Each structure stands twice: as C-alpha cells, then as structure tokens.
Amino acid sequence: MTIKAHAKINTFLKITGHKNGYHTLLSRFVKVPNLYDTISFVPANCERFTIEGCDDVPTESNTIYKVYLAIKEHMNECIINDFFKYHKVVVKKNIPQGAGLGGGSSDAAAFMRLFNEVCKLGIDTPTLAKIGSTVGADIPFFVYDYNAANVSGFGEVVEKFDEEPLDIELYTPNIHCDTALVYKTFKQNLLDKIEPTTFEGWEKLSSKEVLSKIDAVMANDLYKASLIAYPELEKEAKEGWYFSGSGSTFFRINP
C-alpha cells in the first residue's frame, strides 16, 4: 500500500487578482517525473492517527492530517477511524520543503488517492479534488495526477494540458521560502501592478513556447515577491533558469 507523490514546477505563474482574502492565478503546473515522496499505509496498532517521516511538522499542522479530517467530514467516520486504528501513515521525504515544488500538497493528494483506493471509498476524482481544495490550493492538481495542467481560479480549476514530456533540471538553494510570506509580500508591493493582457493566451501555448519568449521575472509573478522577502535568492539566480512557485527552487528545461 504505497503511492508516489511527485513534485511539480510552475513553468509560468501569473497572479490575476485578489478576492475573499486569497490570490487568484493562472499557471502551468508540470509534474517532475524523477522527484517524489512516497506515502505508505503500514500495519500497526495506533491509538490515534499516526504519521511517521514528517518529524519536523506537528501532526495537527500536517496537510495529510488536514485532508484526513476533511475526508472524515465527507464520509462515514467509523470506516475511516477503524482503518487508522490498524495502520499508520509512513512518509519518505525526498522533495525539499519551502522549495516551490508542492511537496506537502502532493503528499496530501497522494494520501487521498491511496486511501480512496485501498478502502474503496468510491469518491470520484472531482469530488476528491474539491475536498482537497478546502485544505490547500495546490492539492487539486495533484489529485488529478496530470503530467501537465493549466491551473486557475484559487487553484481549484484544473484543466489537463497535453504537451511533450519535459527534461527538467532543478536547483534548490539552502533557502526555505514561506509561501504565506511570499504572497503577503506580493499583495503589499506588487498586486496593483498586475497586467492581465501581458500573458493573454499563454494557457494555449506549450511550456517551451512560453519560456522561449520571456525571462524568469516575467514568467513567475511570485519571483519578484520572493526576491523582496528573501533578497539572498538573487545570489542564487543563474542565467537561463526559471523560478518555481513561491520558491526557492530554480529550474531549466533542457533541449
């Protein structure tokens, strides 16, 4: 009972507005094939819901635990409670945290998909994604498990995008970027400067086509905000490399 939880990059990420306390966006999410955590259900006698492998994150703050609670609200609670009396969740982490690669969201989505399958909960994918969206904006993309998708709204609109597989190279400096701080910095310094017409039609182009026309700052609106919040990132930037999500990972697409 094991599933892979892949990392993602955002080949582009544009903020489209701000509503009800949250930013809206248009972004291309792309799965990273060779970087993933694993989520396993391992037989064990547990007095409470147990997660191993995320020692630096309290259970109550873990996205896996949060989606577990969200599923409990949706399903028959007895079925869920019984299963996790006799199984623990074991996470093997490979995706760095605070790196703009979606590790926590991917882990939560993989947990949801595995639990839905193993316990035959019968939750369809759109409903599972909707449940996940109540916990984290990136979770729906990982629930659908597409290789690439255009993601919009608050992250809940996920539309599959077919493009050729990308040879993705990553570079993650030893800088932990706090997503909430980066978005707060964007709102305070850059929100009034967004120009939707400058990225009109990007969702119809391949990632390579988009990136061939623009630089890292233009590709990702959160890059500027991250540079303000974490000025040490500027020393890590490399020519021809782009920035994923709220950082701190840089990536490039090899020919």
Instruction: Tell me the sheet residues that pair with 149.
Output: 29, 160
158's CB contacts (< 8 A; 6+ apart) are 29, 129, 140, 141, 144, 146, 149, 150, 151
Question: Are the beta carbons of 241 and 216 closer than 8 angstroms?
Answer: yes
User: Catalytic site residue 192?
Assistant: no
Selected catalytic residue, list 8, 14, 31, 224: 8
110's CB contacts (< 8 A; 6+ apart) are 3, 4, 5, 37, 39, 142
User: Catalytic site residue 8?
Assistant: yes
Question: What kind and span of H or E run contains 207?
Answer: helix 207-213
Selected catalytic residue, list 14, 31, 37, 138: 138
Question: Are the beta carbons of 57 and 110 closer than 8 angstroms?
Answer: no
Question: Are the beta carbons of 110 and 143 closer than 8 angstroms?
Answer: no
Active site residues: 8, 138
